[in-house]
Structure 1
């Protein structure tokens, strides 16, 4: 963040409540806006950014637990909402997001750092939870994130994609409806209904399937030991 701020300090930054001063002080960004859950900020070109709830907590030390808010984001666009969950466990917020903002055209859902389950379940989805979240959201396509870089939990480094494949099969979800990417891989996500429903789409909705959004995974240094 400091390097980005050095290049473009006036870039707008949006953060949950209680984080603005920290971001200004620690990174150098100047234009920082705070949002509470379900608040939103208008952007250019008909876009609007919403802060939405997540099942998690916050802390930078032993003495400031839950003094700053956390959450996910929904980017509302004329072509449909895009959801970034951030860090979250299972909860009613997935259904609430769909009810308030509509089913996402695309969702980025965490699938890692889930073992041991008794300890991680309240703040981290496992792959089965993530598939259920995908279904609760009614997302057209989802991408698994939050795995493979930092050693945070007991599961093996690349267990999350394997467990995601098992969860897809268990819930009858098509592979292309919810997948992961290798470093440097690009996914042209269908900008329409999930692949499992593509065969039943008729008439004008076929055009939506020809549109796509491109998602790429940028390689990062691995801190797994």
Structure 2
């Protein structure tokens, strides 16, 4: 059967679609390589001291490739922050679920205190699991006035607020079982983070200078005791 013009057109269309799919795949891979390079440099130097040229060199791509994929350094920072913050938030959500998802075996304050101490220790594990992310956070704390507009807000929404929300839901579940008296779960989650892991986070400079196990445990245990004093089921506020 002779090849028709329609058949040739169909084959050309398929080839064009395949070419465009290949370009998209290459672009996606290029974005990943560039974002990974930027994350490394932001962690090492901070945002203000990292240039697009340095990111291109680290990624092994031309400068115009960085600009084509991310427009500018501000968009690159947002992309890196949003991705790494989402990973950290997902890890913390899983930790909250693991430690407070099933509280049926907790029968008294001592059991609850032990579980909250375990939660406090687990809440710190992303400091080592996501070292580059928290290195970037350390830099951003010093660069906050130089960040692009809304960068800090988007970062908080993608990461810390997501994790706090997950913790609040689990604490509400604990309260529903009669183990805590919590009128405002969001506020309780804020206070847990402030009282329990934050002392270790601040003293260790977001994991840059790790504390010893005894000091870490003492800070967490003291924070949990304060939290239970605030929200224990026999506490009146």
TM-score (ref. length: structure 2): 0.24
- Flag the structure with higher helix content: 2
TM-score, length of structure 1 as denominator length:
0.25
If you compute each CA radius of gyration, which structure gives the higher value, 1 or 2? 2
Q: Which has the higher contact order (CA 8 A, sep 6+)?
A: 2
